[in-house]
Structure 1
């Protein structure tokens, strides 16, 4: 399942893309949109929904002055702390003057609206190296708004998946054929290409309190 809600609703997909107004196939379309959204997340290495609240995740550093994290779009609720003695507890909380968030101003290649995914040390503090993930970041993960490219790719992949059946919306479930992969659909791949993230070596997990 996708990490958040599908990137287009069943109602919008049916009305704008399939030109349907019946509810008989809603359950199947729900499944397709959810699975296609998951495929987009896997292909891009990103989750585009807004988490809605700040939660803790932990990361390994890239080097003493740099750490790559999951996307977050606001500094509201942002807390950056480090585990200095590798005991799993973050003892040192960083102030805003200790770090710089990038991409600067949320702009990439002249286009605004991007989230932050890089934290750079610019003061006296450094990210410690240890066996554990020593950088603890509490943030509101995700994007402020789902990019139009993602919505379009979701439509394209869902429509192609549904067309794999012998008859329109009626014979076999999509599970019999599988979801169309981004790499197998040039149109979807081109839409998502600017959003694909280079795999991050940092290990992230959402804190469960365990």
Structure 2
């Protein structure tokens, strides 16, 4: 899916909602719900899950460089936007194009907790190379495919967004903590939790 597209389709949402598969009167409202919820997911997770077909360049300043000392060694890396393909990857710093042996990409092999399909989001300098002039990265940005939990969270939240008109004052009921508001969906939040980028890093 292209950048900016919803994370689920109108047909998938209508199949989730009863008696709407053959009804077109609500299509615009449903598509608006999918679009708005997809943007909410991006804001919540701090990333987007679609992708670009062509490689473009993004720049990262020297103030975005992280360092970690392990004994006498210091490792340095830059947290970059997600990119899913290395075929057209170009990394430059200080006017110098790095070779493949000059850096490491994380997560290694695109695997986290044994699950493949994750994009790369960190560029680590190998050896004595530094990022004093920042970093320029040319890549195909985003994810190769929208993760299934993200799509499910989109459908859950879009269905609730559509149905909120039937909930008085936006309240769906009560639990031991008080009012349950339909926009505070615990299931969707749980599905998205492992996809949230952590903004707190040790420099």
Report what 1:22 is aligned to: 23
- Structure 2 SS opposite 1:51: coil
Partner Cα separation in structure 1 for residue 155 and residue 145 of structure 2:
17
Report what 2:152 is aligned to: 152
Pairing 1:73–2:84 present: yes
Q: CA RMSD in A?
A: 2.0
Q: What whole-Å deviation, never above 9, does each CA across 1:137-190 have from its counterpart, x for those lacking one?
A: 1110000110000010001101111111139xxxxxxxxxxxx65xx2111000
The answer to whether the Cα contact below 8 Å between 1:98 and 1:124 also exists between their aligned partners in 2 is no
Partner Cα separation in structure 2 for residue 124 and residue 79 of structure 1:
19
How many Å apart are 1:200 and its aligned residue?
Answer: 7.0
Partner Cα separation in structure 2 for residue 95 and residue 120 of structure 1:
13
Partner Cα separation in structure 1 for residue 191 and residue 59 of structure 2:
31
Report what 1:92 is aligned to: 96
TM-score, normalised to structure 1, is 0.77
Go from structure 1 to structure 2 and tell me whether the alpha carbon gap of 1:17 and 1:166 turns closer, same or farther (over 3 Å shift): closer
Structure 2: where are the runs of 5+ without partners? 68-75, 168-181
Structure 1: where are the runs of 5+ without partners? 85-90, 168-179, 202-210
TM-score, normalised to structure 2, is 0.80
- Structure 2 SS opposite 1:38: helix
Go from structure 1 to structure 2 and tell me whether the alpha carbon gap of 1:101 and 1:15 turns closer, same or farther (over 3 Å shift): same
The answer to whether the Cα contact below 8 Å between 2:50 and 2:143 also exists between their aligned partners in 1 is yes
Pairing 1:187–2:198 present: no
- Structure 2 SS opposite 1:112: coil
Report what 2:106 is aligned to: 102
Partner Cα separation in structure 2 for residue 17 and residue 144 of structure 1:
28
Q: After the TM superposition, list the runs of 4 or more consecutive aligned residues in structure 1 that deviate by more than 6 angstroms.
A: none
How many Å apart are 1:199 and its aligned residue?
Answer: 2.1
Report what 2:131 is aligned to: 127
